[in-house]
Amino acid sequence: MSTKLHRNPPFRAEHLGSLLRPKDLLAARGEEGEEKKKSAEELRKIEDDAIEDIVEKQIQWGFRAVSDGEYRRHMFWGSFWPALDGMEEIYQPPLEIFRSYAPDIAAFTEAGVLPGESVICTGKIKHAGESTYVGQFEYLKTLVPEERWGEIKMTIAAPNWYHFRYKQGKAYPKDVYSSDAEYFKDVARAYQVEFDILYKAGCRNIQIDDPNLAYFCSEKMLDGWREDKDNIYTPDELLDAYIDLYNDCVSKMPEDMHVGVHLCRGNFVGSRHFSEGGYDRIAVKLFQHLNVNTYYLEYDTPRAGGFEPLKELPKNKNVILGVITSKFPEMENKDEMKNRVYQAAEIVGQGEVGSKEEALKRLGVSPQCGFASHAVGNLVGHDDMAKKLQLVRQIADEIWPGEP
């Protein structure tokens, strides 16, 4: 994969894809507690108008990697998994199939909320040949000049999403797959097909959203893992298997396709996060073994630890520092955030990258997560979101003047 610097993705100022939906869109889809009252045709027009507006705003705010705000999705992962042959979306899934200590499942149950839906394997997994993402990309192409199509950011569900959350042996029927290795191979083939479809449509900028990788930083999750006697892996072994899965997924990508991974700590109703813990425990494997170009890392609070793990960053990869919170409206101090970026650069420069100056060439800045991983969104208003995204741009302009 390409390792070009910042004229192609990633950019100095980034955001993580999901943006607050306008109220008329939420109402049209029945996502504000009201019954859905719009036809499919009427809803599509409302979605189109909302996306056109938010793309125009992103461009006004100075962002190169524009997204559609995930406005056609109810949740950040979209509809990729349910559209696969061999996968079926179910509602009110039985709680006993889940790992109770998986941080998202634990957050649900602690809040007295059961998972409303999930996707389960019922047969051999195969891409059906039609992408549920490509239509979103094609509409975005109508809103930006052709020379910017390669900058459009498409956010994609993680390949391990419907494996980690299930108890050992519950991710697929035993008469369908005899091992995780067989299951992972078919998942990887499905991702290879999806990436090929998007590439042929002109997509060159993929962001994979993955809360699961950050779970391996959580001592609370690791304690639960150790107590679960059904597990056949150590946590390190499963992390290795997931990295191999990722590498298989991207193994056929052309050199000019940029791929990043966002290690999400979770967005739940009320701006609640799911997991805590520094990147120290997984840094070597994450930065040196996972074949992606860029890491979008959460650094808005101490729950993600310090910058020290960034010493493991190879000199041909990038980190986007999520130092601005998307969860709460209080505004960060610009100079303090700039200092944090410089502190991170000092540490990156102590590793293979070699110097603070070279490290700055490998860094960018962003909010730590999306503003609306789920349709309802975080505890911020539209004005708050606008101010925070403009702050990201201001920080980038002062650290890297003249760079996108």
Distance from C-alpha of 220 to C-alpha of 308, rounded to nearest angstrom: 21
Does residue 108 lie within any of the structural domains? yes
Q: At what angle do helices 40-60 and 134-141 cross, to 10 degrees?
A: 60
How sure is the predictor about 2, in pLDDT bands with cuts at 50, 70 and 90? very low
Does residue 371 lie within any of the structural domains? yes
Does residue 14 lie within any of the structural domains? no
Does residue 147 lie within any of the structural domains? yes
Does residue 10 lie within any of the structural domains? no
Query: Does 277 have pLDDT greater than 90?
Result: no
Does residue 134 lie within any of the structural domains? yes
CATH number of the domain residue 109 falls in: 3.20.20.210
How sure is the predictor about 274, in pLDDT bands with cuts at 50, 70 and 90? low
Distance from C-alpha of 16 to C-alpha of 369, rounded to nearest angstrom: 6
Does residue 404 lie within any of the structural domains? no
Contact between 368 and 300 (Cβ < 8 Å): yes
Q: What are 179-238's pLDDT values in tens digits?
A: 999 999 999 999 999 999 999 999 999 999 999 999 999 999 999 999 999 999 999 999
How many domains is the chain partitioned into structurally? 1
State the pLDDT at residue 5. 42
Q: Is the dihedral of CA 310, 311, 314, 318 positive or negative?
A: positive
- CB neighbours of 194 closer than 8 A, spacing ≥ 6? 80, 127, 131, 133, 156
Distances from the Cα of 274 to the Cαs of 53, 269, 355, in angstroms? 31, 11, 34
Does residue 11 lie within any of the structural domains? no
Q: Tokens standing for 221?
A: 């999750």
Mean pLDDT, the chain, whole residue set: 93
Query: By residue range, what is the domain housing residue 150?
Result: 23-399
Q: What are 296-328's pLDDT values in tens digits?
A: 999 998 878 899 999 999 999 999 999 999 999
State the pLDDT at residue 276. 74
State the pLDDT at residue 266. 67
